[in-house]
Structure 1
């Protein structure tokens, strides 16, 4: 036996035998598979393809058509392999042929091309109603509508603008062309502070009722440039006060640290502004000289970013009575004594009027009240009173003269 396996021809014969057996086994299995009634000879199915564009065949130089939907739904039925490949590649066309039809309204059937013959095709919609009209073209000026202008920052407005090109060519039926009332573009300016530079915006076409018209526009968009500006105006600043100063005070002067202010607002707001006042200063609450800060009472829509507050300097005069100021007798002779008859005591009240900052701090020691008894003999004498007080103040004594007795 071992000698057989050592023989090259024996090994070759055994290999050939097993190869024949394997071939016969495979052939039998394949025949059984092909004869199995559960495996169909021709596997078929149906599949839908949506949003298939509808092409229009017409003399586009002379006619326009309306009523053709943009897309259709195509159902394919037939062998699965062919159907699946066709649906996936979509290398077929759906179209409506209007080349032999005259102007007017027609009911036509959608057609197809490029679908393999073994497939059955169903198109939805099957028929459509179309209107064929004479083609017309005209040029129209393009208007610009700036929307959301109320949402511009306060004080900003749209200035001059340009459109390029200024005219567009619109193509449609003569009937539709005659309906055109408005050709415009819309530019949103909400929140803008910078100029608009060649912004591309689509052109819109409307009839007199504001209905948008489906027409061909050439070019479909235009470039818009616009100035976004913040106008300003320099006007005088005035001071506004209310109420009266408390009793004992009078106004010496009131002034602001600025004479004018630059006001920013839209042109129509600025037109009505000739001056701007401060917010009201309540004088009834003012009891001392000094500087206060007040805002500007700006009209609605106006602002003054460089002048949020105004410094107002107020100088007051105060009228005040200083009581019990001593009266001194000067130049008595040696050995003479003096007593007061009228008033009975050597003192009187002094009324002083002057700068509030000075007057409010005065005391009796700030005044010198004297009478001159020089060269007088014994007896009663009426003498004028001399009063010396702070500079730049008006002083008035309680008495113009006093009566004294010299002994």
Structure 2
């Protein structure tokens, strides 16, 4: 055994085992201490930052007004978690400036707080502010209406005279601020507005001459607004306009359109128009009778319920039949010579719809002259034509000169 203890290798092994054992002991103790510190409530401090904390003003509001006080401040709270957490959740503390003992004029005042536990520390940003205390004043102002996006009011609609209740408000502030007031207004966006506004509650805004909004007390803070929206109208006759010429062989027999149309617009624009025309109909593209949809030609600022109307166009077509023979009625024993024309034939223009003319042939046309009451000599005689009833016939010429022997 003595030899074993005197061995260098034995001593080295024992030393190594001892060192490892000591390391493990220290590590376990350290971790145990850390774990125990985490579970002990309230053992460490925490910081919570609260933004937009309302800032109260303590002043005799019946006698004074103050400027330079922000609506809110930032408060940082430091303390034990167990104390801090309920305060942050409930926010049942107050941040304020106390101006009650200060005279009129400019002052630098500290921002204070109350209702915080003693073991919490509060840091307020800003810590102090510049304020101006002035005597309270009040004055009445008439309220005007400003219509926003008036150019976006639908065409044909018109705003009537607005009614504001009450028509005046009382502005409460310092005399110096009240002297800066240039405009007291309510704003109404009329984009795409087609219905009248009835009893709409709108807030009142106050501005200086540069258009900067003034933070003042307005009594009442909002007013009731009614605005009639009208759609003036006028009934005017319709006029058909055309351009170009019909294809060869066609003529217009009739064009029909509604006699009148109701148009809408501002009254001053309606007073300037006595009729409404169509956009020009291109006759070169009209090749048959029918109903055609035509655009209306609106002056600026004038509209109708419809942008298109129907125009009925009745066309007639002319078809030429050349050298149609003339029958002589009641000729008897008489001998006839044609002088003008020098032959017993004429040209016939047949006028009718394309459907009627499509089936018409020369054999369907009967041309004649009647000489039963005429004696020998030279005579001018009317040319008579018979054919389908839905076609009109025009002879060329419509009279002939003959000589009877």
Provide TM-score, normalisation by structure 2. Answer: 0.74
Does the CA contact (< 8 Å) of 2:383 and 2:398 recur in 1?
no
1:136 aligns with 2:154: no
1:105 aligns with 2:102: no
* 1:357-381 Cα distance to aligned partner (Å, 9 max, x none): 788857464232246499999xxx8
* 1:137-192 Cα distance to aligned partner (Å, 9 max, x none): 11111111222333333322322321122111111111111111111111122233
C-alpha deviation, 1:276, in angstroms: 0.4
C-alpha deviation, 1:309, in angstroms: 0.9
- In structure 1, the residue matched to 2:346 is 349
- In structure 1, the residue matched to 2:11 is none
Provide TM-score, normalisation by structure 1. Answer: 0.74
- In structure 2, the residue matched to 1:369 is 368
Does the CA contact (< 8 Å) of 1:169 and 1:217 recur in 2?
yes
- In structure 2, the residue matched to 1:66 is 67
- In structure 2, the residue matched to 1:401 is 401
Contiguous gaps of at least 5 residues in structure 1: 1-32
* 1:52-101 Cα distance to aligned partner (Å, 9 max, x none): 22211112112111111222233344555444444444332221111222
Change (3 A) 1:47 1:322: same
- In structure 1, the residue matched to 2:272 is 272
| CA distance, structure 1, for counterparts of residue 78 and residue 370 of structure 2 | 136
- In structure 2, the residue matched to 1:16 is none
1:388 aligns with 2:375: no
SS class of match (2:238): strand
1:324 aligns with 2:323: yes
Does the CA contact (< 8 Å) of 1:325 and 1:365 recur in 2?
no
| CA distance, structure 1, for counterparts of residue 341 and residue 383 of structure 2 | 19
| CA distance, structure 2, for counterparts of residue 60 and residue 344 of structure 1 | 117
Change (3 A) 1:387 1:211: same
Contiguous gaps of at least 5 residues in structure 2: 1-32
- In structure 2, the residue matched to 1:258 is 258
* 1:7-26 Cα distance to aligned partner (Å, 9 max, x none): xxxxxxxxxxxxxxxxxxxx
Does the CA contact (< 8 Å) of 1:159 and 1:228 recur in 2?
yes
SS class of match (2:179): helix
- In structure 1, the residue matched to 2:203 is 202
C-alpha deviation, 1:255, in angstroms: 4.7
C-alpha deviation, 1:212, in angstroms: 0.9
Change (3 A) 1:387 1:210: same
C-alpha deviation, 1:107, in angstroms: 1.0
Using the TM superposition, name which of 263-272 and 191-200 deviates more: 263-272
Change (3 A) 1:286 1:382: farther
Does the CA contact (< 8 Å) of 2:382 and 2:399 recur in 1?
no
Change (3 A) 1:214 1:342: same
| CA distance, structure 1, for counterparts of residue 218 and residue 172 of structure 2 | 6
What CA RMSD, in Å, does the superposition of the two structures yield over aligned residues? Answer: 4.0
Alignment of 1:158-197 (within 5 A): 158-197=159-198
Change (3 A) 1:270 1:330: closer
Change (3 A) 1:135 1:184: same
Say how many residue pairs are matched: 364
C-alpha deviation, 1:402, in angstroms: 4.3
| CA distance, structure 2, for counterparts of residue 343 and residue 84 of structure 1 | 125
- In structure 2, the residue matched to 1:18 is none
1:296 aligns with 2:296: yes
SS class of match (2:270): helix
